[in-house]
Structure 1
Amino acid sequence: MNASPTPQPRPSAGWTAGLALLSLVLSGLLWLNGLVDSLQRPSVGNALELRQLELTALAAPALPANLRPLLAGDQPLQGLQKELLQQVNDAPLPPAPEQQLQLALLQGQTGQQQAGRQRLQDLQQQVPPEQRPLLAALLAPPANRPPGPAEELWAGWHPSPLTRALACQALGGSVDACSDRPAQRAAVLRLLGTGVVPVLLLLLGIGLLLRELWLRWRGKAQARAPLQGPPLTLAEATLLIAGGFVVVGELLVPLLLAPLLQGGLGPLAAQPALQQGVLVLGLYLGLMAVPLALLWGQLRSHGPRPLGGWLQWHWRPLGGTLRRALVQVLMVLPLVALTGWLQERLVGDPGGSNPLLELVLTSANPLALLCFAVTALVLAPLFEETLFRGVLLPVLAQRWGGLWAVLISALVFSVAHLSIGELPPLFVLGLGLGWLRLQSGRLGASVLMHSLWNGLTFANLLLLAG
């Protein structure tokens, strides 16, 4: 019997390899440039720290006396003043007027009246005329000051409850009369959500992580599920991610789509936050379109899909899939926190946060927040997991094994976010997502884990924003 003929490569295989190599070079240059540029973007970490300290100072008077030192420290206002002074002195651009006003009021309360007065005088020269009556009242001699900051003095300002209380006290009001009790009680709940709940989740995660290590040491860990992926070559997977996602999705789509979207969103110019939210949502949908269309075309050429699909979604039973995702989120949480802590201690904060974090933190428009939530909690997990854990990880695992597949896919995932400052924590998160995909054999579990992780971040930003 004649030997079976050697399978011949498809005629397009050479072109695919060439395009994949060219796309890889271009995407490498684009990613390198994006990582370097991220060093010029401000870090949202400073804003988060400031919001946390302000929230603590606002909540402190409403905390039970026996819990106040534990939850708010001994001198929350002094901690806020120290952070404000550091950020004001280190900021390359003048901080927001309210931050400078807060610092001046705090300096006046802590025996630094001259420094606080000088800061108020400097601020008076910087702000527009409609904001100056409040500053004039604070600079007036005590006998000429109004008994409290009337509403007309706040024209042009959008002060937080803490800023209102500090200004009221500076104008001679008592602590009790100037306190906003409902705002303080709400701040206590928010403080529990941003300070206590994360600690409890960290402790639970450490416990689950130790339990998993113990089970593996005893040889009782759950067996790894069979891994199935699309029948793509490494060149096809490279072309999909480097060409479709990076070159077309991240470079060409924004250049072509952004002007069209901005022109169509002209009627929303009076609501800039909503305009930005719709723009972010539209651009992300455009980013997804080309890679997903390319993936559909690649899989279509391989004939009918197998039972269960090419990407091994396996959502059902949904309860079991969700439980796997939740447990993995909790186990990864302490590892990501440790990575971030070590990075801060060793190299500091290099900046370059995801701009979406700042948008969520500063936006007060519910529809804009809905657009950001859909992008972060639905679209990003579905799209990114499809590429990195649905396609890249199985393709790599077929060639180099599961461990290398998890490591490489996590590295590509972290670099793709184009942030030097967030790269180490995102790499650890990518390891957790890849490990869950490898162990469970369920892409749906990785999507849910990614969504839960983004949801925790989103909820923390909303609590800090108030």
Structure 2
Amino acid sequence: MTLWGISAADAARLTVETADAVMDWTAVVLAAAGLVVLGLWLWRYGGYKALRRAPVRRHCVPLWLPFAIFFVWFLLFFQLYAMIDAYYGDPQAAEATAARNLMMLALNTAMIAVLLAAGYGLFARRLKGFGLHSKTLGGDAGWAAVNLLAVYPLVFAGVGLSLLIGRLLRGEGFMIETHQSLEELMGFEQVWGRVLVIVLVAAVVPVMEELLFRGLMQTAIRGVTGAAWPAVLLTSALFAVVHSPTHAPAIFALSCGLGYAYEQSGSLWRPILMHVLFNGISVTGSLLMV
């Protein structure tokens, strides 16, 4: 079958090549713009000195609490995951994939409720002290985009480091694997399945992870270290460890940017919106390749 003199196979190939080219140029533009913003930040704030006057959050979050919450989530996730796979028999079946995503949506939504309750009960000024003040949301949206832009060059550098290490250890054929959720997004033929993954990846998961890792864990660690940057770096290392090893350098860089945004502004909206935007861009790139 041809379309205006081009075979369907050629049309599909050209579509993929065009999408790849657009994403490559988008990455170049983002990296270049990000380098400018990052350079201005280094010049204006002096890098490490930027958090000297970071606002203090008054709270009574014990150090063990965020780790205990994560441990419970981890156990529930793998137990429910195993139950779904056992029920459907074939983990690759579309029904099993959909059930896992529905389970993740329910589990992470419940986690968000638990984390908001913890923030309400453990921070002075309740959720405002946690960093969720409705009056700052508009300004945080703009700054989230600026902060994310500054972090992008570091994220790309992390990807490059992963590729370099991988090819040194495994040969020239090494490639960074696509995140499982993005693979599922590209594999779903039904619109509802794609919408489910988009909501999960671009909205629910970023909110849950920021409430846990930035809101509770980074705050608890800062309460022990007494300084913002060590808390940012330690939390980022933990955040990277719980993700795929091949993604770890890039995730660490992104997490440092998220942690910095929280400490510098005192607003949890800012890292949440950064994370949502970052995942949204990844989802958009995957949809262009479908």
Residues 41-90 of structure 1 deviation map (CA, whole Å, 9 limit, x = unaligned)? xxxxxxxxxxxxxxxxxxxxxxxxxxxxxxxxxxxxxxxxxxxxxxxxxx
Q: In the alignment, which residue of structure 2 is the partner of 1:204?
A: 33
Whether 2:152 is the aligned partner of 1:333: answer yes
Match of 1:283 among 104, 108, 117: 104
- Matches of 1:312 and 1:202, distance apart in 2: 29
State the 1:313 CA deviation. 1.6
| Larger proportion of helix | 2
Residues 235-293 of structure 1 deviation map (CA, whole Å, 9 limit, x = unaligned)? 3x3xx32x3222x2222344247637986x99xx9x95465234213234225536853
Larger Rg: 1
The code of the aligned residue for 2:75 comes to: L
State the 1:182 CA deviation. 7.2
Q: In the alignment, which residue of structure 1 is the partner of 2:171?
A: none
State the 1:452 CA deviation. 0.6
Contact kept? 1:277, 1:369, Cα under 8 Å: no
The code of the aligned residue for 2:141 comes to: L
Contact kept? 2:148, 2:278, Cα under 8 Å: yes
Residues 381-416 of structure 1 deviation map (CA, whole Å, 9 limit, x = unaligned)? 111000111011122112211111000110111112
SS for the counterpart of 2:128 is coil
- Matches of 1:412 and 1:244, distance apart in 2: 14
Q: What's the RMSD between the two structures over aligned residues?
A: 3.6
Residues 336-383 of structure 1 deviation map (CA, whole Å, 9 limit, x = unaligned)? 111211231233248665321221232232211111111111111111
Contact kept? 2:30, 2:149, Cα under 8 Å: yes
Mapping for residues 260-409 of structure 1, pairs under 5 Å: 272-273=93-94, 276-287=97-108, 289=110, 292-293=113-114, 296=117, 300=121, 306=125, 309-348=128-167, 349=174, 353-400=178-225, 401-409=227-235
Whether 2:73 is the aligned partner of 1:249: answer yes
Task: Describe the shift of the 1:222–1:423 C-alpha distance in structure 2 as closer, same or farther (beyond 3 A).
Answer: closer
- Matches of 1:306 and 1:291, distance apart in 2: 19
State the 1:295 CA deviation. 7.0
Higher relative contact order (CA 8 A, sep 6+): 2
Q: Which stretch has the larger CA shift, 364-373 or 277-286? A: 277-286
Task: Describe the shift of the 1:185–1:290 C-alpha distance in structure 2 as closer, same or farther (beyond 3 A).
Answer: closer
Mapping for residues 49-448 of structure 1, pairs under 5 Å: 177-179=5-7, 190-191=19-20, 193-217=22-46, 224-228=53-57, 230-235=59-64, 237=65, 240-241=66-67, 243-246=68-71, 248-256=72-80, 259=83, 272-273=93-94, 276-287=97-108, 289=110, 292-293=113-114, 296=117, 300=121, 306=125, 309-348=128-167, 349=174, 353-400=178-225, 401-417=227-243, 419-448=244-273
State the 1:229 CA deviation. 5.4
State the 1:309 CA deviation. 3.1
Contact kept? 2:112, 2:208, Cα under 8 Å: no
Unaligned runs of 5+ in 2: 168-173
Counting matched residue pairs gives 280
- Matches of 2:107 and 2:189, distance apart in 1: 25
The code of the aligned residue for 2:73 comes to: G
Q: In the alignment, which residue of structure 2 is the partner of 1:153?
A: none
The code of the aligned residue for 2:269 comes to: G
- Matches of 2:217 and 2:58, distance apart in 1: 9
